[in-house]
Amino acid sequence: QSVLTQPPSVSAAPGQKVTVSCSGSSSNIGNNFVSWYRQLPGTAPKLLIYENNRRPSDIPDRFSGSKSGTSATLGITGLQTGDEADYYCGTWDSGLSAYVFGTGTKITVL
Amino acid sequence: QARLVQSGAEVKMPGASVKVSCKASGYTFTSFGITWVRQAPGQGLEWMGWISLYNGKTKSAHNVQGRVTMTSDTSTSTAYMELRSLRSDDTAIYYCARGWEAVSGSSWDYWFDPWGQGTPVIVSS
């Protein structure tokens, strides 16, 4: 059972915006940096966002990250069929002395 | 371009050990860490542990502590993860990923990029 909670699924039409929430506590999100990963079906995860809101150079600005208190949010604008995947948040948990991933969210493009 | 290539699929009996390799290229191996993550069939990502390649220090998740050993060979830029006393619930795809570790005040910063292609490990009698 993960200490980071994400909605199991979110969906939207092509071109729309979606957000994925990641809820934690003061021992993890509240005091450490958050990263986000995308996992396309049958492939390895890929980094989307690091240090709460920074994008690697190969990730388009359609993807954004934010953090407030003990929650983080991934935003995707201009949704594309290729964005259908599982999305995971992750952060260090100082109480557990372990890195923790969120429960994962499946994004479906209607 | 940084790249990680993992060893091939493994089938093991319960109680056996498995050792997965992760060969890095395209960057200075000892300037980063390597993290190990596994994913059971149909499940989410589970962090297993971390090895700092500049000082060899390791951290591991509580649920595999005592069964997992993470090592590296800097001469070949290869990291290894050995899991002992395998059980059926260790059946998973095992991933390595290059890791960045930093601390800012009391805040820890970890991120993982790129990832290896994954190594399926099946534990079955």
Chain A residue numbers with beta carbons less than 8 Å from the beta carbon of B97 are 45
A18-76 residue pLDDT tens: 999 999 999 999 999 999 999 999 999 999 999 999 999 999 999 999 999 999 999 99
Q: Give the closest-approach CA distance of A7 to chain B in angstroms.
A: 13
Chain-chain contact of A90 with B47 (C-beta, under 8 angstroms): yes
d(CA A90, CA A104): 10
d(CA A86, CA A108): 9
Distances from the Cα of A89 to the Cα of A17, A79, A93, B27, B66, angstroms: 18, 19, 13, 26, 27
Question: Using 50, 70 and 90 to split pLDDT, how confident is the model at B103?
Answer: confident
The sign one gets for the Cα dihedral A40, A10, A96, A49 is positive
The β-bridge partners of A38 are A46, A87
Count interface pairs A-B at CB distance under 8 A. Answer: 75
Please give the structure tokens belonging to residue B93.
């795809």
d(CA A94, CA A28): 6
| pLDDT number for residue B56 | 87
